[in-house]
Amino acid sequence: MTEAAELIDNDFLRQFELKIDDKLAKIEYSLQERKIFLTKLEIPEGINDEGFEEDFLKLVFDNIKERNISVVPTSPQIAKFVRRNRAYKRMLPVGVRI
């Protein structure tokens, strides 16, 4: 479902956006120095694809990885994703454990 969609970094609203069938999934963030704090994940009710959340988060983490920025997940859903996907743990700043 996320293959055809384009991830948008809306820096004005400080959120990553993915539009699916006129519905907007988003992850709010705060950028400080060389760290991005992922603060809130919102997926609209109409999206019933089980793997959507995971695919959306992978798109966001891959985008952040390209920028060479550390990630601090403050949302429980995003922290859970990092625990399940060990490859992304390397993106955490020194001293941050999940």
pLDDT of 4 over the 70 cut: no
| CATH classification for the domain delimited by 8-91, as one of 3.30.499.10, 3.30.470.20, 3.10.290.20, 3.40.630.30 | 3.40.630.30
Expressed in angstroms, the distance from the first to the final Cα of the chain is 28
| Residue extents of the structural domains in the chain | 8-91
State the Cα–Cα distance between residues 40 and 29, nearest whole angstrom: 7
Model confidence pLDDT, tens digit, residues 58-79? 999 999 999 999 999 999 999 9
> What's the mean pLDDT in 15-44?
93
Q: What pLDDT does 22 receive?
A: 86
Q: How confident is the model at residue 1 (pLDDT cuts 50, 70, 90)?
A: low
What tokens does 4 get? 């055809």
